[in-house]
Structure 1
Amino acid sequence: MDINFNAEQLAFREEVRTFLKNNVSDSIRAKIFNCEPLGKQERVEWQKTLYRQGWGAPAWPVEYGGTGWDAVQRHIFEEECATYGAPEQLSFGLKMVAPVIQKYASQEIKDRFLPRIISGEDWWCQGYSEPGAGSDLASLKTSAVRDGDHYIVNGQKTWTTLAQHADWIFCLVRTDPEVRKQAGISFLLIDMKTPGITVRPIIMLDDGHEVNEVWFENVRVPVSNLVGEENQGWTYAKFLLGHERTNIARVGRSKAALARVKEMARKQPGNNGRPLIEDPRFRDRLAQIELDLMALEITNLKVVSADGKQHTPGPEASILKVKGSEIQQDIAELASLALGNYAPAHIMDTSHEDISSAFPADFYHLTGNSFNVRKTTIYGGSSEVQKSIICRMILGL
């Protein structure tokens, strides 16, 4: 694969750079680079800005409002956004539930939901994991019992990212408990304002509120919110997970983070008083991660190119998920190593003179993110599950 950009692609990259320069504020960039959480309105406004530009859904088909970009253009866009410090688009609506709706839902559901996703009017969250059903997702117990024109939903979802902001949740629910566990699952779209839904925060080690528990107590959901056919939700869930695992690769964001580690290592002295970047052992680790990231980038381009032709991510998405999440963790660990004794500074008051004078505060985010990336090898299907998929479906073992 030739990964050198041609003249047309270079011109597109300049167009993206100009757009980012004119539309991403310094305050937003500072928050992104310092790993500070963005508020709901800031995220929504960025989606609306992209929508007004016609770039609201880079990977969607043109008939649903997509850009018509090829895989390389989408890759360039993601990389430039990461390098410049633009917010990430929320994947739950755009990259996860939207492809399911486009492929499996009725025309009424497409017309109702897709325009509001791309315009930023609706914020979505994912109702998959449960206390007893994470990597073994088919063991989920949240039930949906038919009652006329409605389902009555009862149960609990957990680790629901940013549910505190969500307008809608796409949920896997059990509609037939008598058949084998994969066969009795359905895919429902549920309004988060429906009576009986309770969102309870899960506070993380860094005091962040990113994930939640979502409880359903006799929640009435119209049957018209069912995607596809009843009891066929496992098929739709696997399709969605293929898209999620491709997104987890996050090549552009990892390249931007690695560049920041290099910048830090040029300023941080090593044991011999010379810049850490000149330490052979540190440099070897840095080089290995960079080589892994280059290989991941090429693989990612191959997978998203194939996805653009067949619209169904294959088992290769598991490779992206495993390696992409491991690289994110490797970069965070390398950043902590580079900061040495100052690595815990992200949980301290960085305005304190002893800290702020010792090392540039804008590097603290590199280790502040280390807690968060520990989860990347678990969500979207743990690495053990992904390796089983690779062995069975690619290697034939």
Structure 2
Amino acid sequence: MATGQRTYLDHNATSPLRPEAAEAVVRAMRLPGNASSIHTEGRAARAEIEGARVSVAKLVGAKAKNVIFTSGGTEAANLALTPSFRRLGQPDAARLFIGATEHPCVLNGHRFPADRVETVRVNENGILDLAWLETLLERAGDERVLVSVQLANNETGVLQPMIEIAQLVHKHGGLVHTDAVQAAGRVPVDLGRLGVDALTLSAHKLGGPKGTGALVLASDQYEIGERLIRGGGQEKNYRAGTENVAAIAGFGAAAKLALTGLAQEAERLRHLRDLAEAHVRRIAPDALVVGSDAERLPNTFAFAIPGLKAETALIAFDLAGIALSSGSACSSGKVKRSHVLDAMGVEPTLSEGVLRVSLGWATTKEDVIRFAEACERVVGTLYKRKASAA
């Protein structure tokens, strides 16, 4: 998407608000009632929430009654990753196993004691080491385990074999949570087919408003004993507080649109991504495309050109009118060393230069062409400066 002379290629950080979602937000903001009230105005607000709940559930093949709205993907993960997330009648989980490339909301947001958490290593393409996971599960013995693995990585787009992971964990009596924030709306996500027990979503990755997300349970046979936000009985007692009706309405609109023509949109984005990759390889034949041997999201590629630092390159691209990222946009806004790339074994001199291109619903072929033209100028300019300084 080009805005004036700007080209936005950072959809994994935030996808621009879809017009239909914006309309839903404005419509819901005009409603005067509280969704917990039984009068006509309250029922109108409730209808907005429940309609959105149905749309979000359909996006991931779930039942609406098992969708819990939150303030975003981070809160949803924090809510789920507690020892008290369990099937009805089960004891609390004793251990948490997490992938080495997880999002910070999982790495830092869980509610397990530090000595009860273990990290599962990944290979050079960022794929979870299933043999290592099985070793850890066997070592846990009779202790119940909760496993959290990101369906699609936010920095590299690498997709995990969630079906195999869930089968393995269930064989050992554990539960599985997956962070589906980046995957939903970009690849098919069916909670039942994946076999996971819970997944988390975020509206603003789909072209919905910032500030709302969801935890989706596989069935009503699960419970979370320890709530994060206590108070009233909203969201079936899982998340107290007056609901953000406007944001939830926008979330529902974005989810409905993301599901429409999903296969065709994925193919369109894959074509544009491959075109952008081809331009980078032409401009810099020695460029590294991270995770290129793994299955990835159709909208994402991360690359490094030897000799270029991410911080310098990001500024140069920004001045050229191109919005990119160096990875996650969820920390301080600063470029810093990526734990994802470290876990994949990417050489530090290369990982310091990795940039991420992430496309979305508003991206056009013209955007990719502008990126390629800017890339050629940026690479040429920075290499010239490097040569003159040598």
TM-score normalised to structure 2 length: 0.27
Higher relative contact order (CA 8 A, sep 6+): 2
Q: 1 or 2, which has the higher helix percentage?
A: 1
